[in-house]
């Protein structure tokens, strides 16, 4: 068996919480890694909640510089609406230094959710 834990970086983009509004994560720095996956873990959805997920990218941490990641820079796609008690993952294959996630509230009351970014193909190993 090969060890994966020492070959990836894991960043909590959104701490698991009950979200009742659109949530934009802080910028996640991908320097030193050649790949990334974004994982959204959802729990209960209240009052027919409709929440969507997306990834944005930028060369800087300036909030206004982030743009939505194009479909051809992702492996897979988030569902049209996040489902309760589910996990969704999307690979990022773009070339920007920073990514962030946006969980958008389109309707309903709230969703329990968290987001992790797993950074892979580290330039230096083992990853701390």
pLDDT tens for residues 75-108?
A: 999 999 999 999 999 999 999 999 999 999 999 9
Q: How far apart are CA 106 and CA 53, in angstroms?
A: 11
Looking at residue 48, its pLDDT comes to 85
In a domain, 105, yes or no: yes
Q: Which domain holds residue 98?
A: 7-121
Angle at 76 between CA 105 and CA 73, to 5 degrees: 95
In a domain, 55, yes or no: yes
Q: How far apart are CA 91 and CA 108, in angstroms?
A: 28
Number of domains composing the chain: 1
In a domain, 64, yes or no: yes
Q: What does pTM read for this prediction?
A: 0.94
Looking at residue 49, its pLDDT comes to 87
How many other C-beta atoms are found inside a 10 Å radius of the C-beta of residue 105?
17
Which residues of the chain are modeled with pLDDT < 50? none
Q: How far apart are CA 81 and CA 104, in angstroms?
A: 10
Which CATH number do you get for residue 117? 2.60.120.660
In a domain, 127, yes or no: no
In a domain, 1, yes or no: no
Residue 102: both structure tokens together: 């946006």
């Amino acid at each position: 068996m090969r060890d994966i834990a020492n070959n990836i970086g894991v960043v909590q983009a959104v701490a698991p919480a009950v979200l009742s509004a659109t949530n934009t994560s802080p910028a996640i720095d991908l320097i030193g890694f050649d790949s990334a996956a974004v994982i959204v873990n959802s729990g209960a959805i209240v009052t027919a909640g409709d929440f969507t997920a997306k990834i944005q990218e930028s060369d800087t941490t300036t909030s206004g510089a982030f743009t939505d990641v194009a479909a051809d820079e992702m492996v897979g796609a988030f569902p049209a609406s996040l489902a309760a008690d589910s996990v969704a993952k999307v690979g990022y294959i773009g070339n920007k230094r920073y990514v962030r996630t946006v969980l958008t509230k389109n309707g309903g009351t709230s969703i329990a959710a968290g987001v992790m970014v797993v950074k892979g193909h580290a330039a230096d190993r083992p990853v701390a």
